[in-house]
């Protein structure tokens, strides 16, 4: 992650391989957006601020593109490209690279993560897309992105939330802490009801966690009065296994449910349990 995008892109040939190739100017209309771009939202206010900066100082970092017929396709720098259009620029500095679709998606994701440009749902969808389209495991994604595998798994789990909760997270109306807490509550209807309560009351993550504990204590599958409180043990198991865990039953008899979200994750959990 600390090497920057240039070190992650395969170079072809001579001076370019040595990082000596200078940026070229390219007509802004010759550039097409990246169809694999993991970022879906470009807030208008932020674009305008960048456009104002470009008008005053120009584009300080070249856009990264690849050839696509007689056009160019963005690899990295779509926000700068959009802002340059808004600033009325006719040409922009570019570096032309040769990359595959897989490398292009990886680089787009890495650039956005390095710049912290993705919201949590966009990041989760990008991880899932890397795994599904390019047949990568969570461990391989972890190595490419430079993040812990558990972080990758927990981020992907956010995609299980109802659309309303995911939208609120994408728009910054709720935090990652809130969203993770919601995963501990069964049922999309209950999650949506709790979201409405959160948005109306401005509740903290700790308050939401306490509400969820009370809701779970009152559910049929939760321990009844007089039975053990499994919450501390559940939290320990979830931290160790990196996935959601549920304990149902009494001290002498019951079951432990461990969730998984891919064949690769199942294999990982089985190996952990064997050890």
Instruction: Please name the residue ranges forming H helices in 87-230.
Output: 101-114, 120-134, 138-145, 149-157, 163-170, 176-182, 188-201, 205-217
Largest CA distance in the chain: 74
- Classified as helix, coil or strand, 124 is helix
Cα 22 from Cα 67, distance rounded (Å) = 17
Report residue 184 as tokens: 């501990």
**Residue 161 burial (C-beta neighbours within 10 Å; 0-12, 13-18, 19+):** buried
Would you call 29 a catalytic residue per the annotation? no
| Active-site residue (options: 29, 30, 45, 78) | 78
- 40 three-state secondary structure: coil
In contact, 123 and 148? CB cutoff 8 Å: no
Taking the C-alpha atoms of 196, 174, 191 and 201 in order, what is their torsion angle to the nearest 10 degrees? -30
Rounded Cα–Cα distance for residues 105 and 121 (Å) = 16
The set of catalytic residues is 78
């Amino acid at each position: 992650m600390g090497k920057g995008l240039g070190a992650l892109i395969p170079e072809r040939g001579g001076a370019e391989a040595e990082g000596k190739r200078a940026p070229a100017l390219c007509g802004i209309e010759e550039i097409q957006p990246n169809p694999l771009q993991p970022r879906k939202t470009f807030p208008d206010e932020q674009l305008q601020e960048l456009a104002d900066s470009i008008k005053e100082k120009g584009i300080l970092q070249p856009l990264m593109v690849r050839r696509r017929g007689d056009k160019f396709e963005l690899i990295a720098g779509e926000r700068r490209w959009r802002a340059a259009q808004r600033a009325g620029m006719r040409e922009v500095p570019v570096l032309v690279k040769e990359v595959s679709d897989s490398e292009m998606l990886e680089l787009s994701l890495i650039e956005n993560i390095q710049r912290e440009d993705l919201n949590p749902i966009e990041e989760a969808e990008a991880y899932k897309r890397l795994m599904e389209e390019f047949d990568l495991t969570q461990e391989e994604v972890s190595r490419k992105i430079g993040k812990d595998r558990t972080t990758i798994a927990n981020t992907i789990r956010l995609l299980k939330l109802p659309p309303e909760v995911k939208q609120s997270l994408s728009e910054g109306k709720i935090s990652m802490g809130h969203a993770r807490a919601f995963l501990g509550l069964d049922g999309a209807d209950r999650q949506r009801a709790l979201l409405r309560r959160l948005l109306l009351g401005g509740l903290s993550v700790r308050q939401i966690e306490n509400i969820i504990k009370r809701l779970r204590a009152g559910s049929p599958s939760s321990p009844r009065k007089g039975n053990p409180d499994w919450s501390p043990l559940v939290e320990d198991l979830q931290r160790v296994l990196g996935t959601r865990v549920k304990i149902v039953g009494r001290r002498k008899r019951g079951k432990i449910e461990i969730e998984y979200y891919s064949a690769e994750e199942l294999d990982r959990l089985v190996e952990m349990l064997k050890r």
